[in-house]
Amino acid sequence: MKNNIRQFCFPTSVAEAARLLSRAKGKVLVVAGGTRLTRNISPQVEIVADISDVPLKHIKADKKWLKIGALCTFDEMEKSPLLAKWACGVIAQTAAFVSNAPARHMGTVGGNVVRPHPLNNLPAVFLALDAVAVATDGRKEKSFPFAEILKPEVMREFGSKYLLTEIRVPAVTKSWSAATDRLAATKTDWEAWANCVVVGAKKDGRCLDVRIVLGAVLPRATRMAEAEACLLGQPCDESAAWAAGFAVTAELQRLTNASEAKAYACEVAGVLARRVVIAAFQD
């Protein structure tokens, strides 16, 4: 493939990588795992910055946050004892959806988040868990609510103006009920018709708080507000789950303008959401 790459750089610190972004003004392609590198190199790119040696592979928690370094691989997340206990292990389970060995061992949190694709699994789980993305421009650190970075105009700034360093998940979510699943032709198929994450809290058998997030059907992971409204304050039973599933289908049909091409995905997404709601709130 023809390109205009003239230089490869290997920064070893966040500060060095951020300075490179600032100095090159949009001519740098930042890579870590590099699993999608050859698919979308802009002709403006003159420098490839391999940040795989930057120390951003931590998974740790304090009183306020669960912190996941941007260079953690899917394999590291799946096998993390901390993530296995956080929100019913929903982050580790999502990481396990990545099927092939090269992607599992090379693909990173940062790449899955800032190189957006409707089929990427991690954005849905981080959106559901009220995560924030932490980035730097070389001068100061900035935190973005996860819903904000999914906007195309904000996402474009990552890798050009900002370097993603960490995903932070509020500590309060550690004890939340949660579940996730996806529907594809096979378990190893990257192309899913839908993936769904449900997280929330319940008390005395009733839903106090909930997030239902769908991925793959729309261009980016999206919360299903109408389906969430069906569950709030209701008993955590199959009847509420059925209502939420129907609401997911109806909301997706509206958001896709009743597109025939998306009709099947909308229908199965509702079924998937119902199953995941039941799994998340079962005793």
Q: Where do runs of H (alpha helix) occur along 139-186?
A: 146-149, 152-155
8 Å CB contact between 216 and 122 = no
Query: pLDDT (tens digit, 9 = 90+) per residue, 175-224?
Result: 999 999 999 887 767 788 999 999 999 999 999 999 999 999 999 999 99
Q: Give the residue among 200, 209, 214, 178 at the shortest CA–CA distance from 87.
A: 178
Highest mean pLDDT among 30-44, 180-194, 225-239: 225-239
Is the alpha carbon torsion for 150, 36, 126, 225 positive or negative? positive
Exposure string of 45-79, with b = 16+ CB inside 10 Å and e = fewer, is bbbbbbbbebebbebebeeebbbbbbbbbbbbbbe
Query: In this predicted structure, which of 118-122, 123-127, 186-190 has the lowest mean pLDDT?
Result: 186-190
Mean pLDDT of 15-30: 82
User: Hunting for tokens 């930042």 — which residue is that?
Assistant: 30
Residue 252's SS3 state is helix
CATH number for 61-170 (one of 3.30.465.10, 3.40.1160.10, 3.30.70.20, 3.30.360.10): it is: 3.30.465.10
d(CA 36, CA 30): 11
What tokens were used for 80? 């993390």
User: Hunting for tokens 């990481």 — which residue is that?
Assistant: 95
Q: Give the residue among 63, 90, 1, 73 at the shortest CA–CA distance from 37.
A: 1
> How does DSSP assign 43-109, residue by residue?
TT--EEEE-TTSS---EEE-SSEEEEETT-BHHHHHH-HHHHHGGGGHHHHHHTT--SHHHHHH-BH
Residue-level pLDDT at 187? 73
Domains of the chain, by residue range, sit at 7-50, 61-170, 177-281
Residue-level pLDDT at 35? 62
Residue 196's SS3 state is strand
Average pLDDT over the chain, rounded to an integer: 90
∠ Cα 272 277 278 (to 5°): 100
Residue 194's SS3 state is strand
For domain 177-281, is the CATH number 3.40.50.300? no
Q: Is it the case that residue 38 has pLDDT exceeding 80? A: no
Residue-level pLDDT at 94? 94
Residue-level pLDDT at 34? 67
CATH number of the 7-50 domain:
3.30.43
Residue 187's SS3 state is coil
Query: In this predicted structure, which of 183-187, 199-203, 238-242, 273-277 has the lowest mean pLDDT?
Result: 183-187
Mean pLDDT of 103-107: 85
Mean pLDDT of 83-111: 90
